[in-house]
């Protein structure tokens, strides 16, 4: 049931960006704790989720459901050639929350 929900979120993000045939979802690694390492992304070097382009992998904290959609959007934008760590694409306003 959880897998179906995550797939639905992923496909919704892809549709929002206009990607009709997305790759299969990236590997999702759910971690315990309050944060994951994301050096260079935040001042503290910790966040609730992080997308790794190499290997198409997402690390998220199990208690943070909002990170799934956000990290999936990173993956989908990379698929359409607009990878960015700065969240400047208009899709962050329309598809990211």
Domain parsing of the chain, residue ranges: 2-94
Determine how β-strand 36-37 pairs with β-strand 57-61: unpaired
The token duo for 50 is 């992080």
| Half-sphere exposure at residue 23, Cβ-oriented, CA atoms within 13 angstroms | 14
Kindly report the pTM of this predicted structure. 0.85
- pLDDT higher at 95 or 31: 95
Taken as a whole, the chain contains a residue count of 97
Per-residue pLDDT of 1-55, as tens digits, reads: 778 989 999 999 999 999 999 999 998 888 887 778 877 777 787 777 777 778 8
């Amino acid at each position: 049931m959880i897998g179906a929900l995550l797939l639905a979120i992923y496909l919704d993000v892809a549709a929002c960006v206009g990607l009709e045939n997305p790759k299969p979802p990236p590997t999702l690694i759910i971690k315990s704790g309050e944060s994951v390492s994301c050096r260079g992304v935040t001042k503290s070097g910790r966040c609730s989720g992080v997308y790794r382009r190499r290997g198409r992998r997402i690390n998220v904290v199990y208690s943070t459901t909002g990170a799934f959609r956000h990290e999936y959007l990173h993956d989908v934008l990379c698929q359409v050639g607009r990878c960015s760590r700065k969240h400047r694409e208009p899709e962050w306003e329309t598809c990211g929350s």
